[in-house]
Amino acid sequence: MSMDTENGTRWLSEEEQRAWRAHLDVSRLLMHQLERDLQPFGLTNNDYEILVNLSESEDHRMRMSDLATATLQSKSRLSHQITRMENAGLVRRENCESDRRGLYAVLTEHGWDTMRQVAPHHVASVREHFIDLLGEADLKSLYASLTPVAQHLRSLRGRA
């Protein structure tokens, strides 16, 4: 196809640049904005994501590892994160009978209440800053385009 310069590097075309930049900018600006919208509730984006995952799980609990995988965090980071949330009374740790190395992170009453209170605001925020700015066609094609990328990237993580 295109082989632009002396050293064989295929630089990005105008069009490619634009798409790339757009994705990059949205991705950062959006995270930033969502974080800001959660701030009044004393939660960070990370806190919220943990709460979502636990809320949607059987018995409001998840194994640390699974939670780490689901939220794309390292074990270490998750461990610290859960410690903070434990101190904030949002979750607690419980050990696992079937595997004595393992631990569950469990939503507390307060965690669940918090979730129920905050979720509507968060959804509103996601709508206002993202979803509602896109048409149905946009959403469909976004999903169709990005899914293979996500798959590719997931297949890569955890290599050397």
The reply to whether 39 sits near a second copy by the rule CB under 8 A is no
Residue count, binding to DNA (CB under 7 A): 28
In angstroms, give the least distance from the CB of 5 to a second copy.
Answer: 9
DSSP secondary structure code for residue 12 in this structure: P
In angstroms, give the least distance from the CB of 68 to a second copy.
Answer: 13
- Span from 61-69, 83-91, 95-103, 127-135 in contact with a second copy (CB under 8 A): 127-135
Q: Is 7 left (phi over 0), alpha (psi -120 to 50) or beta?
A: alpha
75/66 Cα distance (integer angstroms) = 10
Q: Is 102 left (phi over 0), alpha (psi -120 to 50) or beta?
A: beta
Site for DNA in 33-52 (CB under 7 A): 39, 44, 46
Contact footprint for a second copy (CB under 8 A): 7, 9-12, 15-16, 18-20, 22-23, 25-33, 72, 119-120, 123-124, 126-127, 129-131, 133-134, 136, 138-150, 152-154, 156-157
